[in-house]
């Protein structure tokens, strides 16, 4: 439900409206000011419309048929143009701007030398953010689980040396605070997309959140997961399409390229793609990445490892540094072909890579 406020609505009237909403056990989310001011009331029942209309300062009340009112495209009063909506700033670059953001790095932080080499390689080729997992949720209990807090420190140090913001996964509510102290952006992985306690916990931080689509999740379920984060108080959410599980085992997952333009119509949040998990094959990653940019993705999440054959996690889908460098050149061309561009790295001009 959306309560549109009259231009003459003062602070006292607004406080009274918010008080009435909270007294009904609901949350009030205030947006805009002046003639565009309104209050979103997720989960309100039809009877709440009469309560709101009776209050001074309420001009009209609009029922919302969306179960994810806060992240829906209509929540921004938007026409659906892919160039408008929420912008999420991380480490000197912004998701949702015309510039396409590239996050790259190894699946897992394996040691000081390897993460340092990876960070240097991706920065030199044009990455804007450094990715790497310190806590790794693995299908097998015997697989490498990550270096934990030590890995966080190594990742943060490598990012600082290269001038890159860092993105890393958080796997439980208990470690959210620890991860937030080291990372610029918190990733909620596919396996945790419906870990509602974790979604609430990251929603209570001031760190931007990268939310991956679950491997068997619908678009609606992804948007409802984002609604958990935003309703907890954190509006800085970036959605990530990373492929869904299907009957076909030729690739690790089936990359849903149609999800990108669909999400851009359904939500005002930025949308990026993870081609590495999307297909799970190094030889296919570049083509899927190019397709994602052509489909309107605001960024890419790519696995890059200095020596994929020795990677402790996801080696077969990790690009080599030279493969990544070639891909960035091609991405730049495709971005310009669809009226976009690659975001400028947040680095001194002297060390910025030449993309053209």
- Looking at 72-81, 127-136, 144-153, 262-271, which range is the least confident one? 72-81
**Please, which contacts does 28-33 make with residues 24 or more away whose CB atoms are closer than 8 Å?**
29/70, 29/231, 31/75, 32/77
- Mean pLDDT of the residues in the chain: 90
Pairing of strands 185-188, 58-62: unpaired
Q: What is the CATH number of domain 88-351?
A: 3.20.20.70
Q: What is the mean pLDDT of residues 112-139?
A: 93
pLDDT at 79: 39
Helix (H) or strand (E) holding 40: strand 38-40
Instruction: Assess whether pLDDT exceeds 60 at residue 347.
Output: no
Which tokens is 165 given? 């913001």
Q: Does 2-65 carry CATH code 3.30.70? A: yes
Q: Higher pLDDT residue, 330 or 67?
A: 330
Instruction: Assess whether pLDDT exceeds 90 at residue 292.
Output: yes
Tell me which DSSP letter residue 304 carries: B
Q: What is the mean pLDDT of residues 107-117?
A: 95
Tens digit of each residue's pLDDT (9 = 90 or more) over 331-341: 999 999 999 99
Q: Higher pLDDT residue, 290 or 33?
A: 290
Give the CA count within 13 Å in the CB-facing half-sphere of 249: 0
Q: Higher pLDDT residue, 103 or 348?
A: 103
d(CA 306, CA 214): 28
Task: Please choose, from the candidates 227, 162, 229, 231, the residue with its C-alpha nearest in 3D space to the C-alpha of residue 201.
Answer: 229
- Looking at 135-149, 174-188, 189-203, 208-222, which range is the least confident one? 135-149
Tens digit of each residue's pLDDT (9 = 90 or more) over 30-79: 876 666 688 888 888 888 889 999 999 898 888 776 778 889 987 554 43
Instruction: Assess whether pLDDT exceeds 50 at residue 211.
Output: yes
List, by residue range, all CATH 3.30.70 domains of the chain.
2-65
Q: What is the mean pLDDT of residues 283-309?
A: 97
pLDDT at 343: 94
* Burial bucket for residue 68 (CB in 10 Å: 0-12, 13-18, 19+): buried
DSSP H helical ranges for 149-272: 149-162, 176-182, 196-203, 219-231, 259-266
The percentage of residues in the chain with a pLDDT greater than 90, rounded to a whole number, is: 72
Instruction: Assess whether pLDDT exceeds 80 at residue 237.
Output: yes
Q: Higher pLDDT residue, 44 or 262?
A: 262
List, by residue range, all CATH 3.20.20.70 domains of the chain.
88-351
- Determine what percent of the chain falls in helix, strand and coil, rounding each to the nearest 5: 40, 20, 40
Highest mean pLDDT among 73-77, 81-85, 181-185: 181-185
pLDDT at 356: 36
Task: Please choose, from the candidates 235, 232, 226, the residue with its C-alpha nearest in 3D space to the C-alpha of residue 200.
Answer: 232
- Looking at 6-20, 183-197, 286-300, which range is the least confident one? 6-20
Instruction: Assess whether pLDDT exceeds 50 at residue 352.
Output: no
Instruction: Assess whether pLDDT exceeds 70 at residue 207.
Output: yes
């Amino acid at each position: 439900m959306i309560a549109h406020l009259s231009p003459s609505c003062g602070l006292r009237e607004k406080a009274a409206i918010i008080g009435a909403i909270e007294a009904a056990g609901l949350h009030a989310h205030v947006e805009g000011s002046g003639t565009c001011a309104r209050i979103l009331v997720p989960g309100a029942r039809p009877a709440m419309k009469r309560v709101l209309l009776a209050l001074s300062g309420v001009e009209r009340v609009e029922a919302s048929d969306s179960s994810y009112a806060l992240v829906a495209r209509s929540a921004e009063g938007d026409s659906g143009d892919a160039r408008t909506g929420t912008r999420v700033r991380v480490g000197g670059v912004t998701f949702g701007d015309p510039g396409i953001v590239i996050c790259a790095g190894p699946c897992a932080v394996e040691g000081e030398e390897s993460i340092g080499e990876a960070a240097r390689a991706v920065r030199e080729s044009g990455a804007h953010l450094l990715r790497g997992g310190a806590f790794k949720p693995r299908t097998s209990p015997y697989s490498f689980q990550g270096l934990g807090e030590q890995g966080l420190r190594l990742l943060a140090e490598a990012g600082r040396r290269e001038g890159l913001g860092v993105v890393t996964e958080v796997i439980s509510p208990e470690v959210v605070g620890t991860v937030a102290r080291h990372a610029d952006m918190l990733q909620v992985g596919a396996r945790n997309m419906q870990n509602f306690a974790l979604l609430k916990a990251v929603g209570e931080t001031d760190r931007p959140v990268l939310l991956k689509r679950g491997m068997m999740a619908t678009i609606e379920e992804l948007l409802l997961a984002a609604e958990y984060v935003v309703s907890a108080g954190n509006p800085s959410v970036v959605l990530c399409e990373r492929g869904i599980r299907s009957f076909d085992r030729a690739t690790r997952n089936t990359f849903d390229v149609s999800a990108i333009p669909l999400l851009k119509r359904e939500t005002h949040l930025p949308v990026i793609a993870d081609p590495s998990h999307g297909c799970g094959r190094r030889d296919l990653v570049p083509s899927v990445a190019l397709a994602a940019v052509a489909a309107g993705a605001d960024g890419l999440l790519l696995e890059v490892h200095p020596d994929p054959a020795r990677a402790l996690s996801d080696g077969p889908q990790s690009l080599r540094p030279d493969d990544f460098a070639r891909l960035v050149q091609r991405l730049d061309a495709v971005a310009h072909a669809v009226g976009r561009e690659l975001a400028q790295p947040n680095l001194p001009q002297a060390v910025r890579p030449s993309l053209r």
